[in-house]
């Protein structure tokens, strides 16, 4: 590859009759033409330093960029500046590929100088250099800088430039089918090389704020709830009662088919669970809490752009996500919907991050979740972070009522079917009725009312995030 660059630089030197120098867009030397004449001014300090140290200084770079070379599509004449060490003027030939600058060819200005036809021929050679540089970026670069800029930049010229650079680096594959994977929380600030992840086109790390992840729990236990601080626990000896001060509506008390003559309080001694339900709202540790104590943490997430062959075959993304999640430890991964092209990468990242948050929130979704399968979390993860719990459910979400909250969530997950919910919880139906009546008194919500059920269900799911 370096030999190809040298041949192209020598071709430009031959076309214009002056030695040429090729640098990448970071002003790092790639190739240079030989100086065969007796004119020592051809080796001014800037060119000498570039050849000897393989790069230019930041001051020289700023001087040259001040003439608009990063935006130019044709030759740019730059005058001498002895104070900057530029003893002779220069002609800069921007090296571009698909509209993105990838490097520069430098020529020392001389009189009478190259003709317009000569410069046009030289620019045709820079097109070939641009194609080589783009191929090299696709083959060797991890594209983390461009990918990160696309995912983190606000809409505007920086975002447009980052997206254009990513498209250029990806080449024709940029218009292909992709998905985005989020692995979070990522334990390192460094992303692995794209070469080490099958199917990956680009990887980068980005800021992440989310739950710490599910704590270890017995496989047979139903998912629990993260304890949310700020609730008002009931007074000892007088668990929550419906009253005028209740933030929700007063419950009517029918719930999922319980007979009108069945008294929920008779269920305690017939529950078959050893009477443990007497402490249903008094266990400060929450028993079945599915999360470690505490809220979200600031850290990093790993973003992966994965190539797909078909929209209905996510195997490459699932494989990459699973391997990365396993290697990183107790983390989760989310996969976005497949999309063609790169125009909607920001939306894909939001979906992937949402799916990862859902996998962290609900163990049944993890360790790898795709956005299409996370149900209500597709909406809930779009809520602003740090929202306080709804007043009607704040007390229920306190650590002291973790078992009641878990019971309510399982009941609602089972679509209000008492038999299914009781079996999932491993308790008697009457015990379930008793717990649900306590939930109604504590929240003031009516579990026979569809909107009240929806409010409670969404509050319980949101608490996991």
**Does residue 264 sit in helix, strand or coil?**
helix
| Residue 35 or residue 166, greater confidence | 166
Give the class (CATH, top level) of 1-132.
Answer: alpha beta
Task: Write out pLDDT tens, residues 222-238.
Answer: 333 333 333 323 333 33
pLDDT, residue 339, reads 94
pLDDT, residue 137, reads 65
Instruction: Over range 250-260, report the average pLDDT.
Output: 39
Per-residue DSSP letters for 320-389?
HHHHHHHHHSS-EEEEPPPEESSTTHHHHHHHHHHHHHHHHH-GGG-SEEEGGG-TTHHHHTTSPTTPPP
Identify the top-confidence range among 114-118, 250-254, 283-287: 114-118
Residue 88 predicted with pLDDT over 70? yes
Residue 395 predicted with pLDDT over 80? yes
Size of the chain in residues = 465
Residue 263 predicted with pLDDT over 80? no
Answer for the pair 410, 425: CB distance below 8 angstroms, yes or no: yes
pLDDT, residue 50, reads 55
- This prediction has a pTM of 0.52
The confidence band for 30, taking pLDDT boundaries of 50, 70 and 90, is: confident
Task: Write out pLDDT tens, residues 123-151.
Answer: 999 999 999 888 776 654 557 888 888 99
pLDDT, residue 80, reads 82
* Backbone dihedral angles phi then psi of residue 181, each to the nearest 5 degrees: -115, 135
Domains of the chain by residue range: 1-132, 176-208+299-381, 394-463
| pLDDT, mean over the chain | 75
Answer for the pair 440, 248: CB distance below 8 angstroms, yes or no: no
Preceding amide of 112 cis, omega within 30 = yes
Architecture (CATH level 2) of domain 176-208+299-381: 2-Layer Sandwich (3.30)
pLDDT, residue 329, reads 75
């Amino acid at each position: 590859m370096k030999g190809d660059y040298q041949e192209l630089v020598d071709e430009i030197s031959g076309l214009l009759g002056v030695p040429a120098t090729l640098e990448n867009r970071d002003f790092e030397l790639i190739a240079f033409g030989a100086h065969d004449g007796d004119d020592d001014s051809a080796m001014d300090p800037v060119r000498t330093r570039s050849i000897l140290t393989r790069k230019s200084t930041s001051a020289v770079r700023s001087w040259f960029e001040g003439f608009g070379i990063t935006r130019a599509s044709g030759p740019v004449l730059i005058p001498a500046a002895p104070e900057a060490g530029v003893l002779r003027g220069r002609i800069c030939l921007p090296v571009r590929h698909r509209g993105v600058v990838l490097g520069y060819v430098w020529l020392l200005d001389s009189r009478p100088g190259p003709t317009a036809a000569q410069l046009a021929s030289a620019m045709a050679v820079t097109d070939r250099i641009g194609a080589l540089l783009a191929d090299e970026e696709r083959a060797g670069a991890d594209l983390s800088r461009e990918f990160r800029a696309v995912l983190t930049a606000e809409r505007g010229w920086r975002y447009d430039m980052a997206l254009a650079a990513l498209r250029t680096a990806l080449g024709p594959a940029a218009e292909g089918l992709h998905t985005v994977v989020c692995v979070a929380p990522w334990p390192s600030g460094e992303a692995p090389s794209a070469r080490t992840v099958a199917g990956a086109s680009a990887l980068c790390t980005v800021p992440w704020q989310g739950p710490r992840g599910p704590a270890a729990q017995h496989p047979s236990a139903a998912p629990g709830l993260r304890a949310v601080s700020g609730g008002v626990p009931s007074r000892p000896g007088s668990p929550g009662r419906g009253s005028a001060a209740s933030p929700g509506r007063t419950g009517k008390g029918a719930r999922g088919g319980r007979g009108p003559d069945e008294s929920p309080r008779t269920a305690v001694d017939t529950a078959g669970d050893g009477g443990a339900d007497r402490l249903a709202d008094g266990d400060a540790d929450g028993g079945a809490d599915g999360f470690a104590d505490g809220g979200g943490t600031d850290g990093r997430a790993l973003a992966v752009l994965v190539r797909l062959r078909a929209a209905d075959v996510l195997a490459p993304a699932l494989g990459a996500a699973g391997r990365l999640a396993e290697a990183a430890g107790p983390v989760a991964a989310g996969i976005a919907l497949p999309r063609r092209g790169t125009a909607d990468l920001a939306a894909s990242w939001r979906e992937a991050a949402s799916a990862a948050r859902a996998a962290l929130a609900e163990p049944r979704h993890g360790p790898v979740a795709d956005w299409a399968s996370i149900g209500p979390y597709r909406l809930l993860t779009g809520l602003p972070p740090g929202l306080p719990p709804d007043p009607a459910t704040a007390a229920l979400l306190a650590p002291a009522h973790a078992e009641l909250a878990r019971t309510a969530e399982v009941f609602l997950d089972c679509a209000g079917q008492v038999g299914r919910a009781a079996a999932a919880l491993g308790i008697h139906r009457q015990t379930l009725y008793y717990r649900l009546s306590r939930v109604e008194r504590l929240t003031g919500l009516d579990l026979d009312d569809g909107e009240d059920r929806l409010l409670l269900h969404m509050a319980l799911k949101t608490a996991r995030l």
